[in-house]
Amino acid sequence: MSLLDLNETQREIQSLARAYAQRELVALAGERDQESRFDRVMVTQMAELGFFGMLTPERFDGLDLDAQSYLLALEEIAVADASAAVLLSVHNSLPTQMILNFGTEAQQQRFLPPMARGELLGAFALSEPEAGSDAAALRCQAVRDGDDWLLSGTKAWVSHGSEAGVILCMARTDSPDARKGSKGISTFILTPDLPGFHLAKKENKMGLRASPTLQINLDGCRVPGDRLLGEEGQGFVYALGSLDHGRLGIAAQAIGIARAALEAAVRYAGERRQFNKPIADFQAIQFKLADMATRITAARTLLHAAAAAKQRGEKITRFSSMAKLFATETAMWVTTQAVQVFGGYGYVTDYPVERFFRDAKVTEIYEGTSEIQRIVIARETLAAAAANDGSLPD
């Protein structure tokens, strides 16, 4: 039984993703994590199922699914391997959507079909070493050189940056002497073959270790003029709009991690015996499982309510931040409880809950920290109340 009112197509997508994830991803997820190994075989498999084009229109070789179908599939992948889920989330939500929404017809025809087929993986380069939550403070500079642009600077925290064939990069196009804040930022479509494009430091991370996270150095990187996405100076606006959608993907990923932890805890509680009976018979354990299940269900319900609003064409900034905040903090709380249910065994790599715990933490950080989400929610709530004489719309 589910509280979600799913149609037949959505249930089929959910079942397809679950079957694939449990058949192909679960068994090697721990090994990939320990080795920090990105798996190209996994990419080929998911490409064959169309997972890299879930939100891409059919005319660009995509599946043209609705937001809820996509999030259902993403949750199932995250249950099995959160590193695989972050690849799908970033690819489908950020670079793909930005090119689809703001790219020229030529840019769309060139990049979207191979991205939908999984031949080109997409990445997103907004943050910098000195510009994280204050992304508008980025320093990467783009200057005109004839018909081209020259980009110089360092981008940080680029998920699967070493594997991507298309990177949406934000850079300043205003003059250093006349900074315009976020209005001076533009978006460029980069490819690794461009002169001056260099992969740099690979981060040694706590979690999501099978998803490589890189710095990218741009040393006068020469970018053809037709790689500017949309209007000059509007890149930060494009990025924020895409993050509204991206945060739904992170929420689905977090719910998947939390669900994996709950399912592992339920199995273990039924098997582990203390004082001559399964620990599942103890009320202390039952209360933990009850709270874990309740929070996961609440997070999923909020996420899909936000997705339904997006599908109706409504503004979802407030609700996407709510979904991301609640789901990611739920994932961290649930995985903490799962480790506690396992006791000492939860602290060793023989069982997967320590990996779930590590994977959950970053969901509270990337694509906007929990603190930033609260700022967004408060700002949007105050604005909504002011526009409705103090009352809040549904």
pTM of the model: 0.95
CATH 2.40.110.10 domain locations along the chain:
124-232
Q: Quote the DSSP letter at residue 203.
A: P
How far are the Cα atoms of 136, 156, 190, 218, 237 from residue 153, in angstroms, in the given order?
15, 10, 14, 5, 20
CATH 1.10.540.10 domain locations along the chain:
8-121
pLDDT at 3: 80
pLDDT at 153: 96
pLDDT at 183: 81
Give the separation between CA 111 and CA 103, rounded to whole angstroms.
Answer: 10
Burial of 273 (0-12, 13-18, 19+ CB in 10 A): exposed
pLDDT at 178: 62
How far are the Cα atoms of 40, 78, 360, 393 from residue 332, in angstroms, in the given order?
29, 14, 5, 30
Which of the listed CATH numbers 3.40.50.720, 1.20.1440.230, 3.10.20.600, 1.20.140.10 matches domain 236-387? Answer: 1.20.140.10
Enumerate the active-site residues: 367
pLDDT at 244: 84
pLDDT at 177: 63
> Do residues 161 and 214 make contact, with C-beta atoms less than 8 angstroms apart?
yes
Nearest alpha carbon to residue 337 among 262, 274, 278: 262
Q: Which two tokens stand for residue 64?
A: 């043209």
Q: What is the mean pLDDT of each run of 10 residues along the chain (394 residues)?
A: 84 97 96 96 96 97 96 98 96 95 97 98 94 82 96 96 96 76 89 97 96 96 97 90 89 98 98 96 97 98 95 92 98 98 96 98 94 95 86 73
> Do residues 360 and 331 make contact, with C-beta atoms less than 8 angstroms apart?
yes
**Assigned CATH for 124-232:** 2.40.110.10
Fold of 8-121: Butyryl-Coa Dehydrogenase, subunit A; domain 1 (1.10.540)
CATH 1.20.140.10 domain locations along the chain:
236-387
